[in-house]
Amino acid sequence: MPNPSDYIALGSQLEEDNEETEEEQEEEWFIPVMESPWVLAEKESKNGEATVCSNAGESGENSQGNEWNRGDIDGLFCPICMEAWTTTGDHHVCCLPCGHIFGFSCIRKWLQQQGTTKKCPQCNRKCTLKDVRKLFASRVVAIDGESQKRIQSLEAKCISLDKKNAVLIKKEAEWKKKEAEWKKREALLQRELHQLKEKTIYLEHLLDVKPRTLGHPPSMGGYCVPSLGSEFNEQGPFILQKELGVDGARLFDIDASSKIILMTRRLQGLGGMHVLTKMSLVAPYTRQDISLPTGSKAVRDLHICPSDGSLSLFASLGKKLSVLSTKINNFILAYDLPAPAWSCSWDLNGSHQIYAGLQNGSLVVFDMRQTARPLEFVNGLTSNPVHTIYSLHNSTLPSGVTAVLSASSAGICQWNFGGSEERQPVVLETGNQGACISLAYCPSSDDIIASFRPRIDNSNEMAYSQHLLTPAIGQGVQGSHVHLKRFGSNCYQKLAVTCANVNDVRLPRSAVMNIESHGCLFASGDELTGELVLQELPSFTVIQHLKLRKQPIYDVKYVHDVDGGLLGCLCDDILQLYGNHALK
């Protein structure tokens, strides 16, 4: 914006001699006066020509060598000679009473040649040479009033639009907040609707239940409990009690005292995340998903604490060993590991120590009372992943010594921790059976079953320890089960070996049960028949075939409860629970 000083004009009356001689007038040379830029523009616009204002006489002689438009001429050049006026000298900027501005020398000559009728060259208003006033300002600039008004109007509109935009942004944020609340409410209502449907199905089954199915609670997830028949029940100690739909579940454990099941699941969909699910064993079988700690990835092994059912231990491929409290449904400990964890175990002799078997073959011991670092760390005999680990009773071990049994594709090994003496691991002799793919242990009887499949001539050690959650199902191959018995602290005896149909890709799970009326039993899946087979030890005599709805078998667990015992078998999206009716 121009400086206000540009508009200061001080008048100074010109003292000119009004009585000039005729000779002097004759000596004045004629000045060609150009039309005013505004008049010129008006005439040219009437003739349909483009309007260009320039000095006709000196269009190419200005210092800048540029053509000037109307905006450049206004307030800068004399409209008579089209030359820039000055603040000193003969071409001093001056004005007439009508307000039009000229160079002094130009307006003087113009008025002199007008004779008696002297007029302003722009508006034709009468004036004399006495009326000319010099303007004392560094620069004269005219502001377009209409443009200024338009600018002010546009500025006001911008301010108004900014206010409206702010209001709309605020309303948009409020709508987004309401939308999130509605979605949350919708998800809650969907969950409640699902639970009500399950309760309805359960109540309908109770109303329509037949006498022959009494004692068999209706299942969850839309699956019907089949009638096993008296002839089938007499062949073994277990009878199907519940059948639960568990989409994406791969591992589970049962807390008999609290009547809950913990499962690891992968949610449906591409890139589905891994979660834990806590489910009640009491109708209507409510369930709750629990998020894993950040970076945990897939859970490879889980166990509920045998001395405190409110604590659960998880080993994950995200190099995490975590402890969950089922009372608050939150993780209370999370240990960082040097390698992905494949297996874990609670210490059977106390509730403070926990163990983890790693992908690189190492074993780590932690004391939950010390969270800074591991209690002990040992390198494995090979770099094969430790796919199974069990804590052993220390009744026959020296004081202060704990022991664990680990299994990898290379075989089975006992590790002793604590005490003052350095102890070497004890490798269990199983013969040339192949690659060890599963290990089951019964603490109450010290019976051990190791499962093997034929080795493949492959230099890759990982070939014998495929990940449990691999999408490949595989097929049955001829393998073997080896029955071992633990005597004393470090002594083992191989009691029997039997052939078995095992999976050629996955790492199966099995269970050893010490049942009072039937002795020690071994439960494992038959990959060819699709059955859960119960065998009596040590003879491996088959006493019962439990038909399964789906394959493959992912996990098998057995727990004692108030009714005698509960055997669980996790297949593809179905968890089948069998009760030990012989003990009721």
Asked if the peptide bond before residue 454 counts as cis, ω within 30 degrees of 0, the response is no
What dihedral do alpha carbons 315, 321, 326, 331 form, nearest 10°? -140
Higher pLDDT, 123 or 26: 123
Q: CA-CA distance, 494 to 301, in Å (whole number)?
A: 27
SS (H, E, C) 294-349: CCCCCEEEEEECCCCCCEEEEEECCCEEEEEECCCCEEEEEEECCCCEEEEEECCC
Range of the domain at 119: 75-141
Q: Which residue has the higher pLDDT, 143 or 456?
A: 456
Which of 15-29, 129-143, 257-271, 466-480 is predicted with the least confidence, judged by mean pLDDT?
15-29
pLDDT in the model for residue 503: 85
In a shared domain, residues 503 and 361: yes
Q: Within this chain, do residues 164 and 258 fall inside the same structural domain, yes or no?
A: no
- The CATH number given to whatever domain includes residue 271 is 2.130.10.10
pLDDT of residue 17: 39
Q: What is the mean pLDDT of residues 166-183?
A: 94
**Stronger pLDDT, 565 or 456, i.e. the higher one:** 565
| Residues 244 and 301 placed together within one structural domain of the fold | yes
Does 128 share its domain with 268?
no
Number of neighbouring beta carbons within 10 Å of residue 559: 17
Contact 401, 394 (CB under 8 A): yes
Mean predicted confidence (pLDDT) in 456-485: 62
The position carrying tokens 């002199």 is 112
Domain match, 393 and 541 both: yes
Q: Token digits for 429?
A: 């002799």
State how many domains the chain has: 3
| CB-count exposure of residue 575 (10 Å: 0-12, 13-18, 19+) | buried
Q: Is pLDDT of 461 > 50?
A: no
Can you give the CATH number for the domain in which 80 is found? 3.30.40.10
Instruction: Identify the residue whose tokens are 């005219």.
Output: 142
**Within this chain, do residues 118 and 160 fall inside the same structural domain, yes or no?**
no
pLDDT digits (tens, 9 = 90+) for 335-378: 999 999 999 999 988 778 999 999 999 999 999 988 778 989 99
Task: Examine residue 337 and state whether it is found in any structural domain, yes or no.
Answer: yes
- Asked, for residue 210, whether it belongs to a domain, the answer is no
**The dihedral of CA 293, 299, 301, 305: what is its sign?**
positive
The pLDDT of residue 198 is 74
Q: Of 146-150, 203-207, 217-221, 415-419, where does mean pLDDT reach its minimum?
A: 217-221
Residue 220 confidence class, pLDDT cut points 50, 70, 90: very low
Q: Is there a single domain that holds both residue 165 and residue 299?
A: no
Chain mean pLDDT for the chain: 78
Q: Are residues 362 and 447 in the same domain?
A: yes
Q: What does the alpha-carbon distance between residue 372 and residue 368 come to, in Å, rounded to a whole number?
A: 10
pLDDT tens digits along 88-131? 889 999 999 999 999 999 999 999 888 888 899 999 999 998 99
DSSP notation for 368-429: TT--SS-SEEE--SSSS---EEEEE--TTSPTT-EEEEEEETTEEEEEEE-SSS----EEPP
Using an 8 Å Cβ cutoff, are 562 and 553 in contact? Answer: no
Instruction: Outline where 53-103 has alpha helix (H).
Output: 70-73
**Tens of pLDDT, residues 396-432:** 777 778 899 999 999 999 998 887 666 678 888 888 8
pLDDT value, residue 263: 93
Q: Using alpha carbons, list the distances in angstroms from residue 166 to 155, 288, 380.
A: 16, 42, 65
- Give residue 480's pLDDT band: very low, low, confident or very high (50, 70, 90): very high
> Which residue from 249, 250, 233 is spatially nearest to 241, judged by alpha carbons?
233
- What are the pLDDT digits (tens) for 225-253? 333 333 333 467 888 888 888 888 899 99
d(CA 565, CA 577): 10
Same domain, 437 and 502: yes
Q: Are residues 106 and 177 in the same domain?
A: no
Kindly report which listed range (35-39, 541-545, 568-572) carries the lowest average pLDDT score.
Answer: 35-39
Q: How far apart are the first and last CA of the chain?
A: 101
182 is written with which tokens?
């509605």
- Is this structure's pTM higher than 0.75? no
